[in-house]
Amino acid sequence: MTLYKKTLVNGADTWSSIQVQGVLWEQKKAANVLRSGLLAADSVVIYVPIARDPSANIGDVAVKGLVTDVISSAFTITALKAKYPNNITLKSVDVLDFGSLSMQHVKLSGG
């Protein structure tokens, strides 16, 4: 996966990217039925070995696959999401560092 990390510099969002290999990308397609109609409930969970922890934060964007696009005024994060539909904005970052090193991982999730 490629993780786009958001930071605030001089009052503006800036984005840097890091490629992380050896992750498990688990994508679920679902829908909730409400009285008013269907509501998408798609979700993605990404498992990253603790040794490859990219120090992700809520609000960062993960793209499935290794990509090299640079976020700028000419190519925005919105354009990146349109170009790569397999992406998520992180809503949860859980460090699960109990047990042996081979079991320790970081769980990233979003919808």
Convert the pLDDT of each residue in 37-56 to its tens digit: 554 456 899 999 999 999 99
**Averaged confidence pLDDT in the chain:** 90
Identify the pLDDT of residue 37: 58
At 103 the pLDDT is: 94
What pLDDT does 27 receive?
Answer: 86
Three-class secondary structure of residue 36 per DSSP: coil
Q: Does residue 28 or residue 67 have the better pLDDT?
A: 67
- CA max distance for the chain: 48
Closest CA to 43 of 83, 97, 96, 92: 92
- Say how far apart CA 66 and CA 69 lie, in whole Å: 10
Residue 94 has, within 13 A of its CA and on its CB side, a CA count of 10
Whether residue 25 is predicted with pLDDT greater than 60 in this model: the reply is yes
Closest CA to 105 of 46, 42, 50: 50
Question: What type of residue is 73?
Answer: S
